[in-house]
Amino acid sequence: MKRRLLLSVLILVFLAGCNNPQLYLHNVFKSIDLEVRTHSQAYTMLTDICERFGSRMAGTESAEQAEEFVSLLFRSYGFEDVFFQPFTFNQWQRGDVRLRIDTAGTYVDLPALALAFTPSGNVNASIVDAGNGLINDYNDLDVTDKIVLIHLGLLPGTPSNIKNIHRARKLSLAIAQGAAGCIAVSPVPGGLPVTGSATLDGEMIRIPAVSISYEEGEKLRASLSRRDARARIVTTNSCQPAYARNIVARMEGYEYPEETIVVGAHLDTWDISPGALDNASGAVSVLEIARILKALDLKTRRSVEFVLFMAEEEGHYGSELYVREARQRNLLDGIRYMFNHDMTINTYGFNLMGHHESEDFFKKTGALIALTDSAFTDTMEHITYMGSDHAPFLMEGITTFTPLCRYEAFHTYHTNADEPQYINPEMINSNVKASAMMVYALANAPELPASRMSQEQLRTYLIDNQLQEELVISGDWAWD
Ligand SMILES: [Zn+2]
């Protein structure tokens, strides 16, 4: 009798296993793991894109060639539904820059880079240290007609409850305070000045803004605490209308084709490097995930759209356009998740950006990912920010998330050193593997926890996640 009972229990366990979705998912994950370990093209693709096209600033000839190239790649993987989304935008063009510090008659020229959308200008004024350049840093400060020195990150010793804001929002604060110019200090040590957009509306800002390295910033700040100094900033830059295209590859779902998981990354870079980390790493991750799903012939219940956005750096133009077109075609409710890849290497978990209702799903799926990859620790965080292509989706109430990445080469971010040599195949494959698994899990799950937020839910979400202040500063706060 006991034996028979044991046998029936074993049979039941066996039958349950056959119908166990988690077991099935685990087997799919094992095949993705094998594909990445034996056939990954991600790193070769990364070096290839960087070497072939160099910098891919949206609207340039090299960017246009890169757009063509990736559309052909998608087709070569077996995608039939591949299309461009063209748009025009205001392209900023870098000219010369000079920054000279005058400390009581001693002149020093500092290596500097203009922040994008800095106009041509020639300013000579005294320098005021405005710390982190956040609203409260101006409380007892008169910066009218002065050059403000601001840190682009958060200075050591900043209280942990203080949240950093996008550089463009720091610039609009400085301008609102009456500053005549801005010296912005790189947030990361590494001896290099950084670039990046100083605006969020795609128009020239009113004052010249240049960046210097973290180290030069520390020296200048220390020197200012001892004696006053002046700076002369000379810049020559211009803007012109330009043309770029998103590239979209669509895989139709077999059960809920009107529901979509958007997997996106920007393909464009700044003009000063091939952007290996920012964002060839994200672009090849998206390409490689697309390739793997096709190579393994994985069919999914929902549709997946792989999107390479253009002109992210100059103001999220491509992702704004994607969202605008989806809104016009009434497709926004169908977008269940937007998974953004911006500088994605060494992935060890996911950043769920305050979307707590999705935690369970990600935890369970993450535990299965961890079984195939010991470097993946199934960590979950809720870091919210507006500075990438997920932002236009988030502002429509769509659930957005990103891989959680460990950076060893972060000092190259937005500098002329963003080259492939700082990235290796393991770094990029770790993201491809975990992210491909998550894309499959989301696209094929019988049910998903997330749905689009209502306007009221979105308002609460933005407040709860401390995004209100910066949206107010940039004029994007839709409520009163
Ligand atoms: Zn980026």
Per-position DSSP letters for 141-209, written without gaps between them: ---TTSEEEEESS--TT--TTPPP--HHHHHHHHHHTT-SEEEEE-SS-SS-----BS-SSSS--SS-E
Q: Pull the structure tokens for residue 46.
A: 């990364």
| 343 Cα–ligand 1 center, Å | 6
The amino acid that residue 26 corresponds to is H
| 268 Cα–ligand 1 center, Å | 8
Q: CA 93, CA 78: separation in Å to the nearest integer?
A: 37
| 264 Cα–ligand 1 center, Å | 11
| 341 Cα–ligand 1 center, Å | 8
Low-confidence ranges of the chain (pLDDT < 50): 1, 13-14, 16-17
Q: How far is CA 120 from CA 96, 236, 416, in A?
A: 9, 4, 22
Asked if residues 276 and 412 have their Cβ atoms less than 8 Å apart, the reply is yes
Kindly tell me the number of DSSP H helices and DSSP E strands found in the chain: 13, 16
| 260 Cα–ligand 1 center, Å | 23
CATH T-level fold of 30-90+241-473: Aminopeptidase (3.40.630)
- Total length of the chain: 480
Asked if residues 421 and 274 have their Cβ atoms less than 8 Å apart, the reply is no
Q: CA 428, CA 417: separation in Å to the nearest integer?
A: 18
| 422 Cα–ligand 1 center, Å | 16
Task: Output the CA torsion 202→211→279→175 (10° steps).
Answer: -30
Question: In the prediction, which pLDDT does 177 show?
Answer: 97
Q: CA 177, CA 94: separation in Å to the nearest integer?
A: 26
| 273 Cα–ligand 1 center, Å | 13
| 405 Cα–ligand 1 center, Å | 14
| 306 Cα–ligand 1 center, Å | 17
Q: CA 211, CA 312: separation in Å to the nearest integer?
A: 20
| 313 Cα–ligand 1 center, Å | 7
| 320 Cα–ligand 1 center, Å | 15
Question: In the prediction, which pLDDT does 114 show?
Answer: 96
Angle made by CA atoms 286, 292, 293, in degrees to the nearest 5: 95
Q: Which residues pair with 99 in a beta bridge?
A: 233
| 229 Cα–ligand 1 center, Å | 34
List b or e across 271-294, with b for residues whose CB sees 16 or more CB atoms inside 10 angstroms: bbbbbbbbbbbbbbbbbbbbbbbb
| 70 Cα–ligand 1 center, Å | 17
| 226 Cα–ligand 1 center, Å | 37
What does the domain layout of the chain look like in residue ranges?
30-90+241-473, 97-238
Give the H or E element holding residue 365. helix 359-372
pTM beyond 0.85: yes
Class of domain 97-238: alpha beta
Based on its alpha-carbon atoms, the radius of gyration of the chain, rounded to whole angstroms, reads 24
Q: Which residues pair with 264 in a beta bridge?
A: 307, 340
| 340 Cα–ligand 1 center, Å | 10
| 418 Cα–ligand 1 center, Å | 11
| 56 Cα–ligand 1 center, Å | 12
Q: Looking only at Cα atoms, what is the longest distance across the chain?
A: 100
On average, the pLDDT of the chain sits at 93
| 284 Cα–ligand 1 center, Å | 13
Question: In the prediction, which pLDDT does 11 show?
Answer: 55
| 414 Cα–ligand 1 center, Å | 8
| 336 Cα–ligand 1 center, Å | 23
**Burial class, 431, CB count within 10 angstroms (exposed 0-12 / middle 13-18 / buried 19+):** buried
| 445 Cα–ligand 1 center, Å | 29
Question: In the prediction, which pLDDT does 12 show?
Answer: 52
Whether residue 279 has a cis bond before it, omega within 30° of 0: yes
Give the β-pairing of 113-114 and 209-212: antiparallel
Question: In the prediction, which pLDDT does 410 show?
Answer: 72
| 119 Cα–ligand 1 center, Å | 23
| 344 Cα–ligand 1 center, Å | 9
Q: CA 2, CA 33: separation in Å to the nearest integer?
A: 41
Angle made by CA atoms 394, 261, 428, in degrees to the nearest 5: 90
| 266 Cα–ligand 1 center, Å | 7
